[in-house]
Structure 1
Amino acid sequence: MKKKLHIGNLRSKAVLALSGLLLLGSCDFFRIKTEEEDPDNPVVASVGTAQLYLDDIDHISKEMATGLDSADLVNRYVQSWIKKQLMIREARENITLDEAEINRKLLDYRYALIAYEYEKKVVEESLDREITPQEIAAYYEANKQNFALKEIIVRTNYIKLEKSLPQKRQLERLLGNDREEQNNELKDFAIRYANNYFIEDSTWVKFDDIIINTPLTQNNNQVQLLQNERLINVDDETYSYYFKILEYRLQDQVPPLEFVRDEISKIIVNKRRVELADKLKRDIYNHALENNEFTIYE
């Protein structure tokens, strides 16, 4: 059996959104008030003649993840329903609607949703999420300029210590020492004496994240500070803050591979997802073409 192929332009998001609202307003999900009320299924909210019933929100508690506040979720759902109903009422009162055109757009929207759900299911089942270090490194080398930094990042050791502690001199000695075993000693020191610390010298972090709640946030020339100092010590009334800067990158510089590894992994997986979706569409089309399953009329 041959089917006619319809070729049309994509509908705008605004039209789809309005159509979706009108669909919601007209379907059984938003039922109209009736004479008889079911005591086991009371009305939860109403806007004019449209009513939201307990059965309509029963799925929320069944689908919610453990630990979430069901009352809060239900309240947000009800508020969303009310806002949609008010928008539908406002639209009906202020614009003239071509019901046939709306129904046609809703049908297109329905078919688009069906196709999207099928595409998503097939793609996710076929998607290979395993990425080798070689793939990540190759993508980084080919696209490193696209990862220009928007903030300063550093590799650093950070220790927050009470000003009154006599161990401050010991800490300064440890931070000034570059021996390999120094890091283990520094960790032991931090565990024993520090109020807060970050000793992950192979990890790149945003400089703003590591200096938060320290006097360094008041420094207006962080670039000059990093360029001139490798061991930064600042005090407030109670604490001393030590930062040993091992390495840094400034805004607009290319970050090291380690800092963007996860981002590159997501990009590669998403490219595979797009390629699978395109292949699925081509395969379905070519199969239909080979079997004469559609006709384009002149």
Structure 2
Amino acid sequence: MSQKNRIGSVIMSLTIFVFSACNSVNNSVNDEPLVKINESFLTKGKVYQAVPNSLSKEDSAIFAQDYINRWIRSELLLSKAELNLTPDEKDVEQMLEEYRRSLLIHQYQQKLLEQKYSPLITGSEIKKYYTDMVDNFKLAEPIIKGVFVIVPQSAPNINNLKDLYRSDEAEDIVKLEAYCFQNAKKYEVFLDHWLTFDEINKHLPEGINQTERFIRNNKYHHTTDSVNQYFLSIKEYKLGSEVAPLEFVESKIKAILLNKKRLEFIKQLEVDLYDEALKNKNITFF
């Protein structure tokens, strides 16, 4: 039997096992080997536990095959490492201990952040950071506010839609959303927030080139293909290299400020722990 056929047989066996398994599967079945490399075994139970329960039969087989292949490659590399590294190179106890220490410290810091520290970022803090760092918030690409609708060619009252998507009247916007809810394949009424032009452009049957020139010279765009009609209304725009509006970068600034405050909290925690240890004479200098 070829190597490919052997792997296929293993996958078939495992797939049958996964879909016949239940909580009552006994340990002897779980311990049955699927693959052996030198003295290492990959068992049915180990692969079964790795396969997510939400996958279909076909996807489970693909996942299991990938898992087995990755295990094989990992074991082969490990075997070569064991053979070719010197005893000193294979001594990873210190690295493991350093990793353990770092991991425990990180987990403790995260636990404290969750339990004792929920920093609030005010609107004035966000605005001040934006003003102070405004040169860092130049746009890399155009952004727009407006309306974008995709409807099938068979959609009713297309002429009515042609009027509604251009209108600035609040009543017409309500009518537009009601129409789109019933008939549109996709619609975005983004009058109160910015989108990059590329987020719209990628849905058009033929992407628009020279986007900045197009945006400057076109408030409305209507195009079709054999299946759909596409309507774009640009109400506001900012071009690449312009300063991004505060509302467009607000979430980014908030994340920056949150991270900054968390780092400050952790730094202060280290100082407090040090001072407390000195006070309680838990630190001895020789």
- TM bin, normalised by shorter chain, reads 0.7 to 0.9
How far off its partner does 1:126 sit?
2.0
The aligned residue for residue 128 of structure 1 is: 118
Q: Deviations over 1:229-257 (max 9, x none)?
A: 11122233444322110112222332222
CA separation of 1:117 and 1:188: change in aligned 2, threshold 3 A: closer
Deviates more, 1:280-289 or 1:124-133: 124-133
Greater relative contact order (Cα < 8 A, sep 6+): 1
Once superposed, which parts of structure 1, at least 4 consecutive aligned residues long, lie more than 6 Å away? none
Deviates more, 1:220-229 or 1:196-205: 196-205
Q: Which runs of 5+ in 1 are unaligned?
A: 1-37
How far off its partner does 1:227 sit?
0.3
The aligned residue for residue 177 of structure 1 is: 167
Q: Deviations over 1:236-284 (max 9, x none)?
A: 3444322110112222332222222332332222222222222222222
Question: In the alignment, residue 32 of structure 2 is paired with which amino acid?
Answer: P
Q: Deviations over 1:124-178 (max 9, x none)?
A: 3223054333333333333333233333221111123455778444333334433
Question: In the alignment, residue 211 of structure 2 is paired with which amino acid?
Answer: Q
Question: In the alignment, residue 222 of structure 1 is paired with which amino acid?
Answer: T
C-alpha distance in 2, partners of 1:59/1:104? 31
Give the CA RMSD over aligned residues.
3.3
CA separation of 1:239 and 1:143: change in aligned 2, threshold 3 A: same
Question: In the alignment, residue 174 of structure 1 is paired with which amino acid?
Answer: L
CA separation of 1:54 and 1:278: change in aligned 2, threshold 3 A: farther
How far off its partner does 1:228 sit?
0.7
Match for residue 85 of structure 1 among 75, 83, 90: 75
Taking only the aligned residue pairs, the percentage that are identical comes to: 27
Structure number with higher helix proportion: 2
Normalization by structure 1: what TM-score?
0.70
C-alpha distance in 2, partners of 1:55/1:240? 53
Q: Which runs of 5+ in 2 are unaligned?
A: 1-26
CA separation of 1:141 and 1:294: change in aligned 2, threshold 3 A: same
SS of residue matched to 1:181: helix
Normalization by structure 2: what TM-score?
0.73
The aligned residue for residue 146 of structure 2 is: 156
